[in-house]
Structures are given as C-alpha cells and as structure tokens.
Amino acid sequence: MESNMINNLMEATKNVTRIAANVTSNVGGKPQQKPAQEKKTETTNQPHNQTVEVKLGNTDGIPKLHEKKETHIHKVFPDGRELSERECEVEKLRLKQESDLRNRELDFNFMVEEHVRADRKEREEYERKERKEREERNRRRNRNIIIGCSAAVVVGAATYYAVDRYLSSRYSGHNMLAAKSPETPVALNAGESSVK
C-alpha cells in the first residue's frame, strides 16, 4: 500500500511541476513558442488516395461503417541523403519506364485520334455522296414530272383542238372531207370493160 501511495504522490508532483512550468513561461505576456515543424520536401514521393473502413460501433446488432479517405505518401528513397549507385539505377529504370508508358499512351491516343478522324472523314464523304445521289434523283424526278405534265398539256391541247374543230364543222354543216377533196366524176365507156 505504501508503494501505491508513493507512485500516486510522484505522479501528482510531476503534474504540479508541469503546470508550474507552463504558468511561469507565460508570465511576461509573451506567447508560448511552438516547436518549429519540419518542412517536408517531396521529391520522389508518390501520393495516392486510399479508402479505409472504420467501424464506429455496434448499435442494435447492426455494425456502423464509415468510409474515410486517407492520403498515403510512399517514399521510394529516404529524403536528405544521396542515393547509392544501385538506387540510382533503380530510379533511372523507374523514370525510363514512366517515360515509355507516357510515350505509349501518347502514341495510342494519337492512333485513336487518327482512326476517329478517318472514320469522320469517311462518314462525311458517304453523306456527301448520298446527298449528291438524292439531289440527282430529285432533279430527274422533277424533270420527268415536268416532261410528263408538258406532254399531257400538249396532248390535251391537241385533243381539244381536234374535237373542237370536228364539233364546230359538224354543227356548221360543213363536211371536213368534202372540203378537202372534191370528187370528180369518172367517165365509163360502154364498149370497154375497164374502169378508170
């Protein structure tokens, strides 16, 4: 029991000295200085996001989950020192692979863009040909309609003219055939048996 009491007394003394140190450092009205934080320089760091599920507790038998995004930075090599030859080779290989990957992505994007451009050009050419053929069909159809209407008008006018002339000659009492060719009597000789 005495050892527990001695431990409690030591803790209380430590807490009192800590409080006294805090109070005496702020006596002059000067703000307490915070320790300087180290500035992080990220040269080869590769940040990425990671989703972490955090269990909040179990209420009514249903566990609650909360998704929280955290950013983790993986340092390939420690900061503040020179790289060894092996580390330099690894870094060169990594940079070369990144560059190759970037170049392949650029080539792929260029190829896709070329295909899209060629497809668009082919589609526009096809649409242009279809439009020209459609215009040509419409022009031929319109020409045929005009020719047909003109022929119908001409035939109708000729028929009207012929019927009008026939009817007007019939009602006026003139025979169209008699007016054109007068009949001449043919003389027949009684002795001869020929007819001219």
Length of the chain: 196
112 part of a folded domain: yes
Q: With respect to residue 73, please indicate whether it lies within any of the assigned structural domains.
A: no
Q: For 118-145, how does the pLDDT look when each residue is reduced to its tens digit (9 = 90+)?
A: 999 999 999 999 999 999 999 999 999 9
Whether 192 shows a pLDDT value over 60: the answer reads: no
Domain count across the chain: 1
> What pTM value is reported for the model?
0.35
Report the alpha-carbon distance of residue 74 to residue 40 in Å, rounded: 13
Q: Give the structural domain span for 133.
A: 83-143
Q: Is the dihedral of CA 171, 173, 179, 181 positive or negative?
A: positive
Is 98 contained in some domain?
Answer: yes
Residue 9 included in any domain: no
pLDDT in tens, 10-42: 888 888 888 888 777 666 555 555 555 555 554
Q: Is residue 106 part of a domain?
A: yes
> Would you say residue 174 lies in a domain?
no
